[in-house]
């Protein structure tokens, strides 16, 4: 099997979630560093339009969104499992709450001037920072995500730390003695706050939370090996997508397998990916598309958080 290729950039919290999962599982992987802002021509050659970070590629299969990437990594390396307590509702609920609600509280705090960007991109010019802010504003256009003012984010996040401390109790991880998917979601949203010396004191009154972040961080990042985006495209071109074992068409609103459809997130970065519908279950949507450089690829999305439409 082709080695997993992670398309990501260092300062991305969602990428950190997957890097920590790769570390937890001890997986060898290839690292393609992608641009932080649009345009991302090499990434889009693989995804067909999806621009968010990270994206996982295995040969000619392209997996979008960390909720799906977690399930794919579980297939690639079943042990240690990311689901030690089964496919529990508590795991899904906490992972989703951290990834959606807490992410939007943590980013304004950790990405204040002098924060994460200064640590990871000390050379960033004022022009780059202005371009970054403009890119993110455009990405959220038409979406459903509200970024509150800093004071509100700080208050809401601080208000969650006590219940998280309580949830951890005498457990090393949210659900018990072993790490679950939801632990990586909580980790990556606290990571920017923990990483920035000016904001780390927010965690000081919560020793269990602090120890938790350090515990997940200590999993490391697996064994990455650098790869260029051109090499990743070449790997896709030479590979053939995996056959879909049990193709389904569940609640497609009349769309049949084989039809040309478009898939895009429901919340932000509303860039449609067009392709031939191969699979639409309650868990996953997969479309096949052909790109002049990447060849025929299958792009996979989680069903939750993505919308399926007839191609316009």
Ligand X SMILES: N[C@@H](CCC(=O)N[C@@H](CS)C(=O)NCC(=O)O)C(=O)O
Is 13 a residue that touches ligand X (CB under 6 A)?
yes
61 binds ligand X per the rule CB under 6 A: no
Rounded CA-CA distance 94/92 in Å is 6
Q: Shortest approach of ligand X to residue 162 CB, angstroms?
A: 26
Q: How far is the CB of 205 from ligand X (least distance, A)?
A: 27
Nearer to ligand X, 67 or 203 (CB): 67
Question: Is residue 99 within the footprint of ligand X (CB under 6 A)?
Answer: yes
Rounded-to-integer distance, Cα 112 and Cα 115, Å: 5
Question: For 175, phi and psi rounded to 5 degrees?
Answer: -105, -5
* Token output for 219: 């999993």
Identify which of 199, 220, 233 has the alpha carbon closest to the alpha carbon of residue 62: 233
Nearest to 81 by CA among 211, 212, 184, 231: 184
Task: Report the residue from 5, 14, 116, 157 that binds ligand X according to the rule CB under 6 A.
Answer: 14
Please give the size of the binding site for ligand X, defined by CB under 6 A. 12
Place of tokens 């040969």: 59
Instruction: Choose which of 57, 66, 199, 221 interacts with ligand X (CB under 6 A).
Output: 66
Task: Find out whether 278 and 243 touch, Cβ atoms under 8 Å.
Answer: no
The verdict on 284 binding ligand X (CB under 6 A) reads: no
- Choose one: 46-54, 153-161, 167-175, 222-230; the region binding ligand X (CB under 6 A): 46-54
The residue from 21, 44, 67, 102 that contacts ligand X (CB under 6 A) is 67
Among 7, 52, 195, 300, indicate the residue that binds ligand X (CB under 6 A).
52
Other CB atoms within a 10 A radius of the CB of residue 130 amount to: 10
Relative orientation angle of helices 103-110 and 181-195, to the nearest 10 degrees:
20
4, 5, 7, 12: which one binds ligand X (CB under 6 A)? 12
Q: Of the listed pieces 61-69, 112-120, 210-218, 239-247, which binds ligand X according to CB under 6 A?
A: 61-69
């Amino acid at each position: 099997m082709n080695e997993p290729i992670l398309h990501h950039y260092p300062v991305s919290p969602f990428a950190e979630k997957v890097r920590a999962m790769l570390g937890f599982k001890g997986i060898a992987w290839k690292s393609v560093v992608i641009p932080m802002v649009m345009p991302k021509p090499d990434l889009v050659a693989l995804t067909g339009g999806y621009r968010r970070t990270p994206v996982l590629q295995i040969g000619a299969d392209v997996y979008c969104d960390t909720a799906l990437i977690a399930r794919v990594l579980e297939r690639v390396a079943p042990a240690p499992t990311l689901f030690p307590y089964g496919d529990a509702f508590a795991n899904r609920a906490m992972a989703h709450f951290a990834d959606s609600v807490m992410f939007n509280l943590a980013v304004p705090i950790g990405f204040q001037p002098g924060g994460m960007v200064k640590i990871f991109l000390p050379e960033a010019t004022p022009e780059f920072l202005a371009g970054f802010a403009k890119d993110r504003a455009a990405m959220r256009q038409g979406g459903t995500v509200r970024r509150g003012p800093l004071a509100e984010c700080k208050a809401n996040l601080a208000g969650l730390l006590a219940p998280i401390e309580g949830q951890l109790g005498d457990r090393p991880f949210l659900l018990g003695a072993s790490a679950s998917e939801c632990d990586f979601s909580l980790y990556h949203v606290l990571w920017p706050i923990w990483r920035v010396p000016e904001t780390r004191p927010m965690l000081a009154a919560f020793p269990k939370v602090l120890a938790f972040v350090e515990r997940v961080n200590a999993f490391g990042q697996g064994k990455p090996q650098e790869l260029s985006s051109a090499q990743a495209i070449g790997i896709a071109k030479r590979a053939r997508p995996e056959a879909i074992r049990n193709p389904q068409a569940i609640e497609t609103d009349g769309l049949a397998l084989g039809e040309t459809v478009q898939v895009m997130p429901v919340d932000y970065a509303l860039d449609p990916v067009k392709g031939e519908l191969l699979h639409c279950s309650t868990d996953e949507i997969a479309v096949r598309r052909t790109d002049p450089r990447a060849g025929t690829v299958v792009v996979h999305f989680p069903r939750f958080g993505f919308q399926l439409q007839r191609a316009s």
